[in-house]
Amino acid sequence: MPGLLFAFFLSVSGLTVPVPGYASAAGMIHGHTAVQNGAEQDIKVYPGGQTIGVKVKSAGVLVVGHHLVEVSPETKVSPGESSGLLPGDLMVSINGVKLDEITRVADLVKRAGDVGSELSIRYIREGKERTARLKPAYDRNDKVWRLGLYIRDSAAGVGTLTFYAPREGVYGALGHVITDMNTGTPIVVGSGHIVESNVTSISKSQDGDPGEKRAVFMKEGQVLGNVESNTDFGIFGKMGRNPEHSLYREPIPVAKSSEVKEGPAQILTVVEGQRVERFNVEIIHVSRQQEPATKGMVLRITDSRLIDKTGGIVQGMSGSPILQQGKLVGAVTHVFVNDPKSGYGCFIEWMLKDSGAAQQHSFHPNLKAV
């Protein structure tokens, strides 16, 4: 199983998982409350819309499946499965050696196999650290020692930048968590970065079949920022300046979730090359949320130009900024499979909190009982 997986980031039909894309692809924040009137008015950001390439390495090595090792003509075993390791488990060390590179695994397995010793694997499952013990099995066909596990430590994909906050030096993108496609497990980020990306073509959405942006990472594309966290509301990290191709020369205000209204709005996204364009949408439903939750609004594409080019919302559009009355209000996050002209968006309020931008201001909980 390869160490790198490629995806176009967008959630489908309300599921919070990326959809398999052109080639192949956590800290969850709890306890926030809605902020008091006017709190977010101090924050101004540059809306994004640029297509970005995302590269992340997990903080360990992820188990994504089991396989059998043929140790004799009559016998096949999977030491990893027998030890209790499950898809979705994040292996963080073997015999005390930190797994910061996937190549370390084969090395440690060979050493243990050659001397017939047991491996002690520390791993994380559902936030709790556990230990598995096993002995490698010798693959009689390939002449190597194996654990009987498929593993992965990195992912890459294409999405959309939502905002850059210049005063705080942070950005937010995607609008939803990146998960491993095989296991559905949120990727715990060890390191990562985002780079410029170029849209080469569009596979149009049709009912029952979401389309996708086909894009490539720019060879000379500089690193735009690092990736420090992967939460329910996207990826976040440090960024030094507003990236090129922005439609804005100055930052604009952001809206509280309570300010978002049903009615006309716009999204910013790229459908060709690196040019960010503005397209009309209609916000047809707004959920009143007092604490962070996904699916804050339902939007429908109304711009005939975008419908002609994409058929509606496509994979890779995740994170496209939503603007209303001159303010950034949210980001596109999901597409409805059976109605790709419609989808969900999340409120920018929750993305700002997860980026750290909101915490750098004096916010007070809204304690009004409802």
If phi > 0 it is left, if psi is from -120 to 50 it is alpha, else beta; for residue 294 that is: beta
Do 364 and 334 form a contact (C-beta atoms < 8 A)? no
Of 58, 93, 318, 320, the active-site residue reads: 318
Q: What is the DSSP string of 119-179?
A: EEEEEEETTEEEEEEE--EEETTTTEEE-SEEEEEEEEEEEEEEEEETTTTEEEESSS--B
Q: Which of helix, strand or coil describes residue 315?
A: strand
Catalytic residue among 176, 180, 197, 334: 176
Helix (H, G, I), strand (E, B) or coil at 256: coil
First to last CA, the chain: 51
DSSP-assigned states of every residue in 350-369: HHHHHHTTGGGS---B----
Token output for 356:
């750290």
The answer to whether the beta carbons of residues 199 and 22 sit under 8 Å apart is no
Q: Report the C-alpha gap between 71 and 88 in whole angstroms.
A: 26
The verdict on whether 303 is a catalytic residue reads yes
318 is an active site residue: yes
Active site residue 66: no
Catalytic residue among 42, 139, 303, 339: 303
Q: Catalytic residue positions? A: 176, 303, 318
